[in-house]
């Protein structure tokens, strides 16, 4: 999937900024839904799935890789974000 990200430098009005955020939020929601579906597959492949099968080392690796792409957020904030994403994905997998 290729998404054209709006350039913050090109935004000059509040309406443009809100439209850009709305587009980014829509793309983010689509990515989160897809991530949850793939994570559900992972849960089925693990010997112990669900919340008991969480791997702190793997989660640390995910956050470190993301921090390289989003340095302004930093690993501490990204760890909190990814914890919420992972927990939501696990809860969604349990409901399936």
Cα dihedral: 87, 59, 53, 26 (round 10): 30
- Please choose, from the candidates 27, 32, 45, 47, the residue with its C-alpha nearest in 3D space to the C-alpha of residue 91: 32
Residue 84 lies in a domain: yes
The domain total for the chain is: 1
- Asked whether residue 34 is assigned to any structural domain, the reply reads yes
The answer to whether position 21 is within a domain reads: yes
- At 34-56, the pLDDT tens digits run 999 999 999 889 998 788 889 99
Residue 7 is assigned to a structural domain of this protein: no
Within a domain: 52: yes
Predicted pLDDT at 4: 75
Task: Please report whether residue 31 resides in a domain.
Answer: yes
Q: 30 lies in which domain range?
A: 12-95
Does the structure show a pLDDT above 90 at 10?
yes
Whether 37 maps to a domain, the answer reads: yes
Helix or strand or coil: residue 76?
A: helix
Please report whether residue 91 resides in a domain: yes
Task: Report pLDDT digits (tens) over 58-77.
Answer: 999 999 999 999 999 999 99
């Amino acid at each position: 999937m290729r998404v054209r990200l709006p350039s913050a430098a090109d935004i000059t009005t509040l309406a443009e900024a809100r439209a850009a955020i709305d587009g980014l939020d829509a793309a983010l929601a689509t990515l989160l839904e897809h991530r949850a579906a793939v994570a559900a597959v992972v849960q089925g492949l693990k010997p112990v799935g669900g919340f008991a099968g969480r791997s702190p080392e793997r989660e640390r690796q995910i956050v470190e890789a993301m921090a390289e792409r989003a340095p302004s957020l930093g690993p501490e904030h990204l760890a909190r974000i990814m914890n919420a994403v992972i927990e939501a994905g696990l809860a969604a997998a349990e409901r399936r």
